[in-house]
Amino acid sequence: MIEKQQPIVALGHSTKSKKVRPPRNNLLLSLKKNDLELNFYSSLDPEIMNKLLEKVLS
């Protein structure tokens, strides 16, 4: 039985935009002082991080 050949055609691409992911919450600083452990992440406001560091390190 002879099969009819079909032309090769490109598939249509979806017009939907890709799902946008929120930015990752990256670890910026991990600090251990005596029995205190602090982890600072990228979502933390830099001003708050500076205030905390000043209090902990002074």
- The answer to whether the beta carbons of residues 39 and 29 sit under 8 Å apart is yes
Per-residue pLDDT of the chain (58 residues; tens, 9 = 90+): 677 888 888 888 777 777 888 888 999 999 898 898 999 999 999 999 999 989 988 8
- Taking the model in full, what pTM does it have? 0.54
Instruction: Check if the beta carbon of residue 28 is closer than 8 Å to that of residue 41.
Output: yes
pLDDT at 33: 84
